[in-house]
A and B are shown apart, each in its own frame.
Chain A
Amino acid sequence: EADIYQTPRYLVIGTGKKITLECSQTMGHDKMYWYQQDPGMELHLIHYSYGVNSTEKGDLSSESTVSRIRTEHFPLTLESARPSHTSQYLCASAAGDEQFFGPGTRLTVL
């Protein structure tokens, strides 16, 4: 079944830890995105990719990095987590304009 997956769903970690949020899709989409979503706020684009070995920063300044070595995989890494990184992180993929979202990772940095 074609889908988009994110792991972990919930993560609580201490300040200074390095973390990687995983995102995988089985739809063969070239376009993939990472958004940050806080309660009552719009989705903010933090990274996107239009294909393998192509990554760009989004509109929201972020201390995270991404990689796109395989079409189906688009992990996001925080080298040193801080409390200000506490948020919901949503991954999406798209073939045209319709974006398909994963269930999200709720990150809490203590």
Chain B
Amino acid sequence: QKEVEQDPGPLSVPEGAIVSLNCTYSNSAFQYFMWYRQYSRKGPELLMYTYSSGNKEDGRFTAQVDKSSKYISLFIRDSQPSDSATYLCASKTSYDKVIFGPGTSLSVIP
């Protein structure tokens, strides 16, 4: 079983839609959770960083972590064509390296 799993998509939504991207993880020791955004032919860039369970909001983006179900979510409100990218979730323990999921490809259609 992979430590971090996510549906690769592709996911296609109309502009303005609310997008929900999800990940599951298997290591109960994970305490730090991240979402990276990767545009085509670019390296990933950090979008959201959270510690333990709860919600974190940054503009149109909300990251949610439910440690009881080992479930990580990223919500994008009022999605824009510029949000079209691959979204990678990632997790780590307090002392180990970051483990990345395979990414979900998102297309926002104007």
Contact = CB atoms under 8 A, between A and B. Distances in A.
A51 interface: no
Interface of A: 4, 35, 40-43, 45, 48, 58-59, 90, 92, 97-104
Contact of B43 (A42, A58, A102): A102
A101 B49 contact: no
B97 A43 contact: no
A42 B45 contact: no
Nearest to A92: B43
Given A42-B4, A43-B88, A101 B100 contact: no
A42 B8 contact: no
Interface in B80-110: 88, 92, 97-103
Given A41-B102, A42-B100, A97-B98, 4 more contacts: A40-B8, A58-B97, A59-B97, A98-B34
B93 to A, nearest CB: 11
Contact of B2 (A42, A43, A45, A101): A42
B44 A101 contact: yes
B48 to A, nearest CB: 11
A41 B102 CA distance: 4
A103 B42 contact: yes
- The residue in A40, A58, A102 that gathers the most chain B C-beta atoms within 10 A of its C-beta is A40
Contacts of A41: 102
B32 interface: yes
A35 B43 CA distance: 11
B27 to A, nearest CB: 13
B41 interface: yes
A97 B43 contact: no
B30 to A, nearest CB: 12
B57 to A, nearest CB: 18
B63 to A, nearest CB: 14
B100 A43 contact: yes
Nearest to B44: A101
A98 B97 contact: no
